[in-house]
Structure 1
Amino acid sequence: MTSADPVPEVHPAPAAPTIASSGGSMLSDEGSTTGIDAEVLKRTLHRYLQKHRAALVAKLDGLAERQARWPVTPTGTNVLGLVKHVAGVQAMYFGEVFGRPLPNAPAWLESEDGDDMYATLDETLDDVVAFHHRSAAHADATIEALDLNARGVVPWWPEDRRRVTLHRILVHMGYETARHAGHADIVREMLDGLAGDGDGNLAEKTPDEWVLWREHLVDVAERSGLRDLGA
């Protein structure tokens, strides 16, 4: 693809088979933490959740309002929208699910029209970040207050698996937050080239070396395509 190529048509990915649909039970009953040091496990899950949160919000550092909102995919994915979405999701999962609703929650939390995936003209970047921090603090308070086996109900999940534990929701939100932090990482790189989260996992290359590296990958892709054509 080049900058002159048309925006690709959106094709939703097919549903991936889940453990539950394959005959397992992990999605409907995550089991008990009996025999495990539950407090250590909770601290570990909580720490990783906080790490992924920080990585996500950090992708806004240095961006202007326009950049933060700029959609870089055919489905409109943008960094500020990802931060807003995760802020709303964590408010619901660590709030309503355990009977601890976030005070003064915004109306868009109940919207099913994608209002949580972008910041409106009435919302600033600082507004979204402040709400993210507020919902994170509320989530942290729930995590600190409850045991891993504390029970909750996710009313928007199917009836057969909406009864959950804090353990289950911590795992779910760790996955959710890490996934969107990865999205934000790619979106930010597409905006201004900033990549990685500073943890040393990104290869150390100069700008010129990255250009050469990408050219190498393009060459590999082109050669692979020619091979498929039998050329």
Structure 2
Amino acid sequence: MKEELVTYLQSAREAMVWKLQGLPEYDVRRPMTPTGTNLLGLVKHLAAVELEYFGLVFGRPSGVVLPWFADDAEPNADMWATAQESREEIVALYRTAWEKAAATFEALELDSPGEVPWWPAERRKVTLHRILVHMIAETNRHAGHADILRETIDGAAGMREGNDNMGAQGPEWYAAHRERLEEIAAGA
């Protein structure tokens, strides 16, 4: 069961990294929503929370310094990349988080206990199973955000390279489909 959960997590992780591929720096960094959501920031956020959830929560601190979680950090500093943080550094941080998490998965059983200090007291006591499920949900939630952002940027859609999961319809079909949906929405 642990291997199956890790497989689902890894699939979502790889989708996140794929969403950055082939885009210029501006497009991976630019805020695409009123709250500033951007592709590189989503990856940075996931790297950071994985390091905390699969490390600190189980008494296995990663040793990686995360300045955006410091008390004096800007709000949401984990959700965007500074000019000094390169895409390569953030992706490397994410891959480091995967390696640290893999060591935790190897060392612990699904029922191994942990504690999430930033959760309310009544929910802080957790197991590796619970945190794996939590991170699968969190990563897939952000992968959904990334899907929409990437499609908005350049039209690229789908799960991952070589398996877009979008069916055989081409761009012309989707353009006509979107136009039809717009007409339905306007008439509602």
State yes or no: 1:49 paired with 2:17: no
Alignment of 1:140-219 (within 5 A): 140-198=102-160, 199-219=163-183
Per-residue CA distance 1:141-177 (angstroms, 9 max, x = gap): 1111100111111000000110110011000001000
Structure-2 change in CA distance of 1:203 and 1:59 (3 Å): same
Gapped regions of structure 2 (runs ≥ 5): none
Which has the higher Rg, Structure 1 or Structure 2? 1
Specify the SS of the correspondent of 2:34: coil
Q: Deviations over 1:54-89 (max 9, x none)?
A: 111110010111110011111111000000000001
How many Å apart are 1:204 and its aligned residue? 2.2
Query: What is the distance in 2 between the residues matched to 1:150 and 1:201?
Result: 36
Q: CA deviation at 1:106?
A: 2.5
Are residues 1:107 and 2:67 paired? yes
Structure 1 distance, partners of 2:185, 2:157, is 22
- Return the offset for 1:203: 2.6
Distance change >3 Å, CA 184–CA 130, structure 1 → 2: same
* CA-CA distance at 1:201 after TM superposition: 2.4
- How many residue pairs end up in the alignment? 184
SS in 1 for 2:117: coil
The CA deviation at 1:223 is 1.8
Residue type at the aligned position of 1:96: L
**In 1, distance between residues paired with 2:183 and 2:67?**
50
Instruction: Describe how 1:48-67 pairs up with structure 2 within 5 A.
Output: 48-67=8-27
Gaps spanning 5+ residues in structure 1: where? 1-40, 225-231
Over the aligned positions, Cα root-mean-square deviation in angstroms equals 1.2
Which of 87, 101, 104 is matched with 1:139 structurally?
Answer: 101
The TM-score normalised by the length of structure 2 is 0.94
CA distance in 2, matches of 1:109, 1:136: 19
Structure 1 length-normalised TM: 0.77
1:222 Cα offset (Å): 1.3
